[in-house]
């Protein structure tokens, strides 16, 4: 199972991007997101989305004060930590090895500059290509590779609403 650590969330600047990191984490099969920083509004809005669209029974959303201690604890407990960075090794070279792990994975994405500590204290520094782009895109592609596209078919059993796919228009029904 995979969890996401979003580093250095600044409520004033990162509200939208961090929300999208959390929504991608949930929609693409992760089991939770840790947000480094403080932002109760953000946590409430992610929880609300999870209540409506499903996953609230297991999807964990919490803020933490120090990403480094989470990374150290994760590794001490036998979990694997993966930092997504344009400076890392191409994901294509490592995805087979990563898919074989049966311990919890912590996928780390930055916001602005990521402290050099992470580059030296994680198990893997992985690039979704070696060009600069976005933490949202990097996370989505990483999870899609990890779950081999199967996450796109996942049904959230405990959702309040469910989309009925349409060629045109929108159809949403109450679940259950
Ligand atoms: N310039 C910053 C630095 O050097 O740390 C990164 C800024 S980038 C907008 C924010 C985050 O997006 C990064 O911390 C990384 O997690 C992710 N990211 C951006 N491009 C990436 C890539 N090619 N591969 C993997 N992750 C990437």
Q: Identify the CATH assignment for 2-174 out of 3.40.47.10, 3.40.1280.10, 1.10.3210.10, 2.30.30.90.
A: 3.40.1280.10
CA 127 to ligand 1: nearest atom: 24
Residue 148 CA, ligand 1 centroid: distance in Å: 22
Cα–Cα distance, 175 to 157 (Å, whole number):
8
**How confident is the model over 83-112, as pLDDT tens digits?**
999 999 999 999 999 999 999 999 999 998
Does the structure's ipTM exceed the value 0.90? Answer: yes
Render pLDDT for 114-173 as a digit per residue (tens, 0 to 9). 999 999 999 999 999 999 999 999 999 999 999 999 999 999 989 999 999 999 999 999
Ligand 1 center to 84 CA (angstroms)? 7
Cα(77)–Cα(39) distance, integer angstroms: 27
Average pLDDT of the chain to the nearest whole number:
96
Asked if residue 176 has pLDDT above 90, the reply is: no
Distances, alpha carbon 11 to alpha carbons 46, 53, 63, 109, 160, in Å: 14, 24, 12, 16, 28
Listed by start position, the domains of the chain span 2-174
Name every protein residue with a CB atom under 6 angstroms from any ligand 1 atom.
Answer: 84-86, 109-111, 113-114, 127-129, 131-135, 138
| Ligand 1 center to 9 CA (angstroms) | 14
Instruction: Quote the ligand 1 centre to 108 CA distance (angstroms).
Output: 10
């Amino acid at each position: 199972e995979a969890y996401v650590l979003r580093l250095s969330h600044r409520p004033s600047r990162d509200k939208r991007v961090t929300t999208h990191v959390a929504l991608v984490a949930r929609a693409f099969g992760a089991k939770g997101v840790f947000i480094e920083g403080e932002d109760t509004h953000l946590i409430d809005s992610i929880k609300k989305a999870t209540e409506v669209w499903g996953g609230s029974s297991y999807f964990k959303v919490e803020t933490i004060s120090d990403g480094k201690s989470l990374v150290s604890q994760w590794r001490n407990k036998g979990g694997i930590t993966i930092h997504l960075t344009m400076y890392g090794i191409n994901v294509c070279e490592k995805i087979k090895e990563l898919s074989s792990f049966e311990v919890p994975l912590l996928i780390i994405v930055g916001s602005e500059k990521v402290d050099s500590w992470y580059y030296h204290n994680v198990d893997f520094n992985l690039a979704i290509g070696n060009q600069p782009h976005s933490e949202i895109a990097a996370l989505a592609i990483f999870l899609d590779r990890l779950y081999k596209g199967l996450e796109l078919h996942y049904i959230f059993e405990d959702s309040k609403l469910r989309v009925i796919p349409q060629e045109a228009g929108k159809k949403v029904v109450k679940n259950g």
